[in-house]
Structure 1
Amino acid sequence: MSDYDDVWLVIPAYNEGPVIADVIEAARKTFPNIVVVDDGSTDDSVSSIMKTGAHLVQHPVNLGQGAALQTGLNYALKQPGAAYFATFDADGQHQTHDVERMVALLRTGDFDVVLGSRFIEQTGQVPWIKRVVLRTAATVSPTARKLNLTDSHNGLRVINRAAAENVRITMNGMAHASEIVAFLASSELRVTEVPVDILYTEYSRSKGQSLINGVNILFDISLRERGRK
């Protein structure tokens, strides 16, 4: 038995063959329940995942991270005893000790959603282009401001069952993060933000958000907020 038998990590993965097994095996030392959604990978990700003991769900084609997260949440919600759900990146950036702290906050019953932030405590690890894009995204989004978020596009989130049963991610690509924030801002769910440690390795930097994609995120936020008016 584990102290975290009621917690499920949801890991979306696309062509993460070089690192995915190590990421899963490290996480399973603390969290026994992990579902990895392979989003149509064309490398050896699937065979690597199958060696780890994690649950595997496959998309036959690449649908995008938002779709993979929704598939993973749907799967985890069906598992007996599942009460808390963490979205966790496949490239090694996220740390399990942060998930432990975030789950502990949810267990107090004071919150329904705990979001990770790279900017509450400045560590200097965030690449400057990424820092500018992410801080701008949080600043220009009215929904992020409503929740007083400093980092509206951090992929590390822990939510309770009430939140997981109600979130519906329809934007399949990276813009799903804006959609999640908009949902939270319009809901009655209790949301808080905590500092987290992001590990930027050479590998994760090579897989990271490009400036062009960052601009696309800002454009997406603008369109979504305009549509809400």
Structure 2
Amino acid sequence: MEGPTDAELARDTWLVVPLYNEATVIRDVVRQARETFPNVVCVDDGSADDSAAEAERGGASVVRHPINLGQGAAIQTGLRFAVEQPGTRFVVTFDADGQHRTEDALAMVRRLQRERLDVVIGSRFLDGRTRPGLLKRIVLKGAVVLQRMTSGLRLTDAHNGLRAMTRDTAARLRITQNRMAHASEIVDQIGSLELRYAEEPVHVIYTDYSRSKGQSLWNSVNILSELIFK
């Protein structure tokens, strides 16, 4: 018996997009994402620009935080929204700045359908498509080592924002770290909940815009410092 088609898998998936001051790109990001995944929820985390309105113009459902709480809080709100929607089977976390590809997200959802997995985590280091700078690579690899020591998970990329998970997994996660430390917290919970996980090679697209919105080396250093001092 054949399994569900890609279109059926995408229809049963919600993309959760944390959103903060991305008015210049979010409409196009949502439109392009919805060519594959019709269900997109953007959590506007107290943006000072027209991010929420632009996301709605792109076709997304929008949930608003009245004040800025941080990316972790936005993801938690989005997960809660997604699991409450009828027919949800899978949930994908997806960045608002255009650095993630829906082709990679769909491949991750296929693995959830095909394999006995609870979560699939994107990795920019499993193939040669993504080319971060040398210093950024060193910092991210250092974060992987520290994360492995705290969580026990053997990952190659512990701080990739592209993740696919089953509905049950999304319902079990409890993100309390609102800033960048939420990524470490998610990995720790995957370990503590003994979830079945795998990594999937993904292509992270670095642009001048995405670097200015959080993909800088300094941001990577902040991640590393949060791992050391958490």
What TM-score results when the alignment is normalised by the length of structure 1? Answer: 0.92
> Which of 94, 103, 112 is residue 106 of structure 1 equivalent to?
112
Q: 2:172 is aligned with what amino acid? A: N
User: In 2, distance between residues paired with 1:102 and 1:213?
Assistant: 26
Counterpart for residue 142 of structure 2: 136
Pairwise mapping of residues 67-86 of structure 1 onto structure 2 (< 5 A)? 67-86=73-92
Stretches of structure 2 that go unaligned for 5 or more consecutive residues are none
Alignment RMSD (CA, Å): 1.7
Cα distance change, pair 31–143 in 1 and its aligned pair in 2 (3 A) = farther
User: In 1, distance between residues paired with 2:53 and 2:117?
Assistant: 38
Q: Does 1:174 align with 2:190?
A: no
> Which of 37, 57, 64 is residue 58 of structure 1 equivalent to?
64
Please tell me whether the aligned partners of residues 148 and 154 of structure 2 are also in contact (alpha carbons under 8 angstroms): no
Shift of 1:145: 6.8
User: In 2, distance between residues paired with 1:77 and 1:126?
Assistant: 34
Shift of 1:20: 0.3
User: In 1, distance between residues paired with 2:186 and 2:157?
Assistant: 13
Cα distance change, pair 143–162 in 1 and its aligned pair in 2 (3 A) = farther
SS in 2 for 1:147: coil
Identity %: 53
SS in 1 for 2:47: coil
Please tell me whether the aligned partners of residues 111 and 190 of structure 1 are also in contact (alpha carbons under 8 angstroms): yes
> Which of 200, 203, 221 is residue 206 of structure 2 equivalent to?
200
Shift of 1:127: 2.6
Q: Does 1:88 align with 2:94?
A: yes
What TM-score results when the alignment is normalised by the length of structure 2? Answer: 0.92
Cα distance change, pair 123–145 in 1 and its aligned pair in 2 (3 A) = farther
Counterpart for residue 126 of structure 2: 120
User: In 2, distance between residues paired with 1:192 and 1:106?
Assistant: 10
User: In 2, distance between residues paired with 1:197 and 1:109?
Assistant: 22
User: In 2, distance between residues paired with 1:101 and 1:194?
Assistant: 8
Shift of 1:123: 3.2
Alignment deviations for residues 108-141 of structure 1 (CA, whole Å, 9 cap, x no partner): 1421100000111133521333212111100122
Please tell me whether the aligned partners of residues 39 and 62 of structure 1 are also in contact (alpha carbons under 8 angstroms): yes
Pairwise mapping of residues 147-186 of structure 1 onto structure 2 (< 5 A)? 147-186=153-192
> How many residues are aligned here?
224
User: In 1, distance between residues paired with 2:76 and 2:130?
Assistant: 32
Cα distance change, pair 31–124 in 1 and its aligned pair in 2 (3 A) = closer
Counterpart for residue 14 of structure 1: 20
Please tell me whether the aligned partners of residues 151 and 188 of structure 2 are also in contact (alpha carbons under 8 angstroms): no
User: In 1, distance between residues paired with 2:99 and 2:189?
Assistant: 25
SS in 2 for 1:51: helix
